[in-house]
A and B are shown apart, each in its own frame.
Chain A
Amino acid sequence: MSHHMHLYDSHNSSSITRAVAVAHVLVTVMINSQILVQLDKKISFHNSGNNQNSRQKMRVENLTAGFGQKKVLDDISISFNENAITAIIGPSGCGKSTLVRCLNRMHEVTPSAWVSGHVFLDDEDIFSPSTDPVAIRRKIGMVFQKPNPFPTMSIFDNVAAGLKLNGVRDRKVISSKVEKNLKKAFLWDEIGDRISDSGASLSGGQQQRLCIARALAVEPEVVLMDEPCSALDPSATAKIEQLMRELEKNYTVVIVTHNMQQAARVSDYTAFLYLGKMIEYGPTDEIFQNPKDKLTENYITGRFG
């Protein structure tokens, strides 16, 4: 927690640090640290555009994690392929959110959180002492369950926030990147003519796409989505799912979902977690047509969980 607060303080205005609601501060800290980008680091934008590519982008090895006395993840090993969507499913409390939060070192911002094992981004161990968690969160973006645009900022500023923190000053560059990322998030056609309105004025589904545009603006390589559609209606959900399919062409996407049909619809690979253990992992069509494990079968057919 402490070093994140430190980074946060050093980069941002003191007004926000006075925020009182602890939970709110936590979320805000995470979002901001996610878009803080070190000036001296060259941004590498991954763009292979090859859906058939099955190269491993991230690799989790023997990951065990928890809070205080409680173990939430138990010896998880899994890989996430590049240009693919991997869905993590499982009943409430099985550890799926904790798993994705370990992937960009957000787990550790919660007091009492602990972790052991390894998570590799390409060949870099993201838990190694020499790894900068802020740089990791820039490369591995996150979209949350509840759309959380910066409420006092305009649509434009929401997307530009990360760029400005990045030191980009050229307004033309910022404008063009904001437009580009609003287009990527399928939002430009709907709200391109009112980007100076408040982000909070958008519908829930538009706000979530704004958050995706904001996450994409800092040019991540991996996009994590934790229940991104659970607060959205079916048509907004359909748009986000269509967007995920687009994102897959250029990013590695990992999505946590309670909605098994969503996992079946959008993902290429599915992992089933139960009581902190990885029960089964495989191509989505195999998991949903012919799972190997009885537990997986019973969960996805609605017999428990």
Chain B
Amino acid sequence: MRPLDAGLNDMSETLLQMADLAERTVEASLSSAAQGGKIDAQVRVWSNELQGRYDDVEEKAVELIARYQPVASDLRVIKSNMKIAYDLARLGRYAYDIVQVLDLIDGGKAADRAFLEKMSEQVLDMMRLSFQTLRTHDVQVARQLIEMDNGVDSLYRGYLRGLISNANLKAAEAVSTALVARHLERIADHAWYIAQSVSYMVTGTYIV
């Protein structure tokens, strides 16, 4: 094993732990939403922890570059790991944003729960598939995410369009649902970015 390999293995191990934590964080946040916005202080703690571990990964990446001047797949792994760690930290942050929105607006009671549950399901499926790609490096699986992301996008856009035409909608419902939907849409995007980074790491090209 080359000296560089120990550092790369450390980074990959950290990413997988981050993915587990991000999954728990998003799940906790969404279950909190489903239960009508019970604030889960844990979501905030986990989100902060994800941010801290992203900082660690970035520091490790810079150290490995400075020490070993990695090239080819080594360089791609480091670049991708930095991006993926950032995406995972963002997942945690959006999870925390969701519980904040629900806390702020009527304790989450006003949100369109049926719509958000439907969207959450799709987003969680995407996130899990993305993490599967991260664990297995199976880039073919990642292709399914394209279709899924399109589905999440159209749900989100459809909801926004509906807001304009629905004059009877209360502000609390409209704002809390739209903001949570917005964060969910961003979570789906980052799940897709992670799969893209895995593709780049493994093949040197992004999925198109």
Contacts and interface: CB of A to CB of B under 8 A. Distances in A.
Interface string A279-300: 0000000001111000011001
Interface residues of A, number: 13
Nearest to B75: A289
B71 A289 contact: yes
B74 interface: yes
Interface residues of B, number: 12
Given A289-B204, A290-B204, A301 B72 contact: yes
A261 B72 contact: no
Nearest to A297: B72
A111 interface: no
Interface in A159-203: none
Nearest to B73: A297
Most buried by B among A260, A297, A302: A302
B71 A288 contact: yes
B154 interface: no
A303 B4 CA distance: 11
A272 B205 CA distance: 22
Nearest to A263: B71
A291 to B, nearest CB: 5
B2 interface: yes
A260 B72 CA distance: 12
A264 interface: yes
A270 to B, nearest CB: 11
Contacts of A291: 72
B2 A300 contact: no
A288 B2 contact: no
A301 B74 contact: yes
Contacts of B76: 289-290
B2 A289 contact: no
Interface in B45-77: 69-76
Contacts of B2: 301-303
A22 to B, nearest CB: 40
B81 to A, nearest CB: 15
Contacts of A302: 2, 4
Interface in A243-265: 260-261, 264
Contacts of A296: 72
22 contacts: A260-B71, A261-B69, A264-B69, A264-B71, A288-B71, A288-B72, A288-B75, A289-B72, A289-B75, A289-B76, A290-B72, A290-B76, A290-B204, A290-B205, A291-B72, A296-B72, A297-B73, A300-B71, A301-B70, A301-B73, A301-B74, A302-B2
Given A290-B205, A301-B2, 18 more contacts: A260-B71, A264-B69, A264-B71, A288-B71, A288-B72, A289-B75, A289-B204, A290-B76, A290-B204, A296-B72, A297-B72, A300-B71, A300-B72, A301-B71, A301-B73, A301-B74, A302-B2, A302-B4
Shortest beta-carbon contacts, A-B, top 8: A290-B204, A288-B71, A297-B72, A300-B71, A301-B74, A261-B69, A301-B72, A291-B72
